[in-house]
Amino acid sequence: MDEYLKKNRELWNEITPIHARSAFYDVEGFKQGKCALKSIELEELGDVSGNSLLHLQCHFGLDSLSWARRGAIVTGVDFSDEAITQACSLSEETGIKADFVCSNIYDLPDILKDEFDIVFTSYGILTWLPDLKHWAEVIAHFLKPGGTFYMAEFHPIISVFDDSVDCTELKIAYSYFPSSEPLRFEPESDYADPNALVTNPSYEWPHSIGEVVTALSNAGFRIEYIHEFPFCCYKVLPFTEQDEDGLWRLEGDRLPLTFSIRATKPEP
């Protein structure tokens, strides 16, 4: 498992500079005041001012710093040292205060000793996690009693379909159900910049909604809600179409493309 995580870290170290200069992430727009957060998490998590917030799998910090701009006291965590270096640089350049820690999630309790009012994570995070039971336990470890865990994520049903560029219809290519061994994907063009050359493969684990909810429940969380949405902030399948609000949908809104979960760590 450590070897898979090492290989994935090499991938993210490779693609972080691609992302930082891409139009997809629009770092220049962020520097000029654009918020990197999406409407779902802004509306559902709400006012974070004055709250300590731990952002797991923060990449190079755009969402973390967006929460800090909204008044949160932010710590971002990512396993890519290239991403953390970029996040620290962006924090310094913009004057937006936030702390950033380089660690994979599973080792984080050995490195970080704080507790937080909010633990947050979003978009494209589950597939990089081999062990959701341990993931949920780490979240519970860092959350204060009465604190809130919130996630917004691509719906796992998306991952079963063929997403090759020439695919024109829903065609099942992968299993929906969890697997102990990851799927290996050979290097190809990067989602943030199709013209960029990527050389490292990725190792990814499928996770069902049931697995996510069970992991959180077993870690002691009280689930407030699970919401499913027929749209996505990113073109996750080649035949999705963008609506007037910039969101991506399947014709007829036939499937969920995004889900969110809000959960609370009970008081003793």
The domain spans of the chain are 2-264
Average pLDDT over residues 77-82: 98
pLDDT per residue as tens digits for the range 2-31: 999 999 999 999 999 999 999 999 999 999
User: What is residue 180's predicted lDDT score, i.e. its pLDDT?
Assistant: 84
User: What is residue 12's predicted lDDT score, i.e. its pLDDT?
Assistant: 98
pLDDT per residue as tens digits for the range 159-199: 999 988 888 889 999 999 998 899 999 998 899 999 999 99
User: What is residue 1's predicted lDDT score, i.e. its pLDDT?
Assistant: 67
**Number of Cα atoms under 13 Å in the Cβ half of residue 202:** 18
Burial 147-169 (b: 16+ CB within 10 A, else e): bbbbbbbbbbebbbbebeeeeee
The mean predicted confidence, pLDDT, of the chain is 96
Identify the sign of the CA torsion 51, 223, 43, 121: positive
Phi and psi, residue 88, nearest 5°:
-65, -40
User: What is residue 119's predicted lDDT score, i.e. its pLDDT?
Assistant: 98
Is-contact 249 243, C-beta < 8 A?
A: yes
Burial environment of residue 136 by CB neighbours within 10 A (0 to 12, 13 to 18, 19 or more): buried
Residues 6+ apart with CB under 8 A from 175: 160, 206
Angle between helices 62-69 and 81-94 (to 10 degrees): 30
Topology adopted by domain 2-264: Rossmann fold (3.40.50)
User: What is residue 68's predicted lDDT score, i.e. its pLDDT?
Assistant: 98
Q: Six-digit token pair at 161?
A: 């379909």
